[in-house]
């Protein structure tokens, strides 16, 4: 079964290094918490808020040798007044037998405030 696994993370500054580090941190936590390997991952969708423009977050995943051939795409998050700034959101599509209610969606740093309904059951990630 292909499942969608959500996550988000914030950064303090719009720098290439910080964006890439945060993207990898989020991606790796999604893989670990859901016991996924490279072969389980079908593709990764990433959005970033308009205040992040130093680098495509997808670069961080593409630079990992094991994930070089996994499709990864970036897009700009729509601008909504009052939305969380400097935020990277991720959707990983992966093959897993885990039922939807047991998927570990990962929200880190300030992004923990985005989906309390998803992280409240297992505590904050």
Question: Could you report the per-residue pLDDT of 64-104, keeping only the tens digit for each?
Answer: 989 989 999 999 999 999 889 999 999 999 999 999 999 99
Q: pLDDT at position 124, please?
A: 41
CA distance 60 to 17: 9
Q: pLDDT at position 69, please?
A: 92
CA distance 79 to 81: 7
CATH fold, domain 2-119, is 60s Ribosomal Protein L30; Chain: A; (3.30.1330)
3-class state of residue 29 by DSSP: helix
Cα dihedral across residues 82, 25, 35, 70: positive or negative: positive
Active-site pick, 3, 74, 86, 87: 74
Question: In the structure, what pLDDT confidence band is assigned to residue 110 with cuts at 50, 70 and 90?
Answer: confident
Whether 77 is catalytic is yes
Whether 62 is catalytic is yes
Whether 38 is catalytic is no
Whether 115 is catalytic is yes
Cα dihedral across residues 37, 38, 40, 45: positive or negative: positive
Active-site pick, 29, 62, 109, 110: 62
Spans of all domains in the chain = 2-119
Query: pLDDT tens digit string along 33-65?
Result: 999 999 999 999 999 999 999 999 999 999 998
| Residue 116, pLDDT above cutoff 90 | no
């Amino acid at each position: 079964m292909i499942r969608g696994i959500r996550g988000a993370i914030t950064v303090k500054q719009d720098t290439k290094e910080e964006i890439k580090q945060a993207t990898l941190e989020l991606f790796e936590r999604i893989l670990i918490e859901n016991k996924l390997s490279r072969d389980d991952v079908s593709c990764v969708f990433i959005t970033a808020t308009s205040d992040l423009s130093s680098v495509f977050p997808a670069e961080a995943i593409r630079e990992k040798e094991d994930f070089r051939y996994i499709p990864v795409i970036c897009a700009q998050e729509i601008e909504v007044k009052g939305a969380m700034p400097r935020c990277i959101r991720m959707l990983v599509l992966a093959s897993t037998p885990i039922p939807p209610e047991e998927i570990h969606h990962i929200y880190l740093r300030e992004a923990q405030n985005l989906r309390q309904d998803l992280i409240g059951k297992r505590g904050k990630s």
